Amino acid sequence: MPKGTNQKFKLYRLAQIMLENTDEEHYITMPEIIDALGTYGVTADRKSIYADLRDLEILGINVEGEPVGNRYHYHVVDRPFELPELKLLVDAIQSSKFITEKKSNALIRKLERFVSRYDAQKLQRQVYVSGRIKTMNESIYYTVDAIHNAISMNKKIRFQYYQWNVQKEMELRHNGAWYCISPWGLSWEGENYYLVGFDQGAGKIKHYRVDKMLHIRIMEEAREGKEHFQRLDMADYTRKSFGMFGGKEQNVRLLVDNELAGVMIDRFGKDVMMIPSGEDHFTVNVDVRVSRQFLGWVFSLGEQVEILSPEEVRSAMKEEIQKHMRQYQ
């Protein structure tokens, strides 16, 4: 048999054919493998392909052959990801507001390479089921990468921060001033990505929406605020901050209708202590950063939740309600 023009790519093309065209439900026969190789300018006989299929295992591609009638059908087994796992990743990418539509589609196309073309279609169908609002900051990838690099290098970063104005234009905050922050972590909250860092000038921990950061640069100065983050549980910090808005941390006692037990567990975790109060209610004591967003969350639950203490927070809730009443009079 004369050799094809691309024999040196034989094993690579065989791997490509098997990965793209076979899965648990789709098989390929030996004649079909030979024909597919031929389209790439590669010639092969059965004996050499048997050996090549065994060699694919060295590359981590396991091919299984099953007898069907008087022929063997071959397909790839034990892929790095199962289809349900990739669907989960696709959903996470699609629901992430901090990833642009363009970058989301590029990421999903890369994930499609882990499955056959048949399963890739199932992933692609999921891409268009949602019209979620996405960020328009195309530099998000590089911003996140720079933050990770700064953390590993123990360096500060500087960046500009923007907001949208009523003309729907990006407008730099503080007249384009540069923010100099010591980055210590990244937090994913409410479909947004946040930088959590230390502001030496203010002497406290702050957080910033990563998709609103522009022109990030790694500085030569070493990070500051280590003593603050040594005693900070990042997950606990995120849980206490509603919508990642700051506020004074306080222990708040709530009276909650029994029907909202699941809401409390979803928000504060299964370890939250729920103390019965009569037949229809229970009380919880939770540590939160009291902000208008926290008060808004309580307000959204209506008559089924009441702030009992401290009086300072209870009064803040009354004041917020009065503001709304005056607004709608």
In a domain, 2, yes or no: no
Q: pLDDT for 94-149, tens place per residue?
A: 877 778 878 888 888 999 999 999 998 888 755 554 455 566 667 787 888 899 99
Q: pLDDT for 214-259, tens place per residue?
A: 999 999 999 998 888 877 666 666 666 665 566 788 899 999 999 9
In a domain, 146, yes or no: yes
Q: Say yes or no: 91 and 60 in one domain.
A: no
Domains contained in the chain, number:
4
What pLDDT is recorded for position 129?
45
Give the span between the Cα atoms of 223 and 197, in whole angstroms.
9
Q: Say yes or no: 216 and 148 in one domain.
A: yes
pLDDT for residue 82 is more than 50 = yes
- Rounded to two decimals, the pTM is 0.63
In a domain, 237, yes or no: no
In this structure, are residues 267 and 300 in contact, taking their beta carbons and an 8 Å threshold? no
Domain of residue 249 covers: 242-327
The answer to which of 46-60, 184-198, 274-288 has the lowest mean pLDDT is 184-198
Give the confidence band of 35 by pLDDT, cuts at 50, 70, 90: very high
Q: Say yes or no: 44 and 118 in one domain.
A: no
In a domain, 135, yes or no: no
What pLDDT is recorded for position 298?
92
**What CATH number is given to the structural domain containing 145?**
2.30.30
Per-position b or e across 267-306, b if 16+ CB within 10 A of its CB: ebeeeeebeeeeeebbbbebebbbbebbbebbeeeeeebb
What pLDDT is recorded for position 133?
59
What is the percentage of the chain residues whose pLDDT exceeds 90?
48
**What CATH number is given to the structural domain containing 287?**
3.30.70
In a domain, 35, yes or no: yes
Check residue 225 and give left, alpha or beta (phi > 0: left; psi -120 to 50: alpha): left
Query: What's the whole-number average pLDDT of the chain?
Result: 86
